[in-house]
A and B are shown apart, each in its own frame.
Chain A
Amino acid sequence: DAGVIQSPRHEVTEMGQEVTLRCKPISGHDYLFWYRQTMMRGLELLIYFNNNVPIDDSGMPEDRFSAKMPNASFSTLKIQPSEPRDSAVYFCASSTGRWGTDTQYFGPGTRLTVL
């Protein structure tokens, strides 16, 4: 398996623009997670899905952020409008089974810079 795939790997945009990050989980994994990593706050869980259904989005910073999982092999994280403080590395991860007991497999991340 190719592992968790994320695109783009790097994104540079201007404040106010819409940004869409994409993730393809490992086939057969029924949990998908979106994380954000910054120097100030470390690694934060934004939202996670189980069988394509959002379970907990309490980590989503504000309404400008939204995430979807239209099918088992694809998820998006959208920021609209983007702001400079959204600059971070965004990771997608997937796992199988109850995530309290299973390893999460991380993608390579998308480094987002908002100017």
Chain B
Amino acid sequence: GAGVSQTPSNKVTEKGKYVELRCDPISGHTALYWYRQSLGQGPEFLIYFQGTGAADDSGLPNDRFFAVRPEGSVSTLKIQRTERGDSAVYLCASSLSGSEETQYFGPGTRLLVL
């Protein structure tokens, strides 16, 4: 079936605004992950969902960042009061059942905060 999809592919916003980034995992995958990749760096873990619940949110940088997965499929990453330092590529990945399973990545959402 289809791979992981993310929308939008690009998002430009102004400092202080609120943004939502969406991830559609591979059908049947119960685990979903969000990472952030700054220019010239490797991806950094943000949060991991197993089903509807956040199994590990230790990578969220502060309380401006929040993610949900209400029905155990699609997930939304929400960023409040965006700052210029939030500019990065936000990557989503899914795996069949979590923990040790191989993660498959989407193309990412490139966020630019002006």
Whether A and B are associated in the same complex: the answer reads no
Q: Which residues of A contact B (CB under 8 A)?
A: none
Q: Which residues of B contact A (CB under 8 A)?
A: none
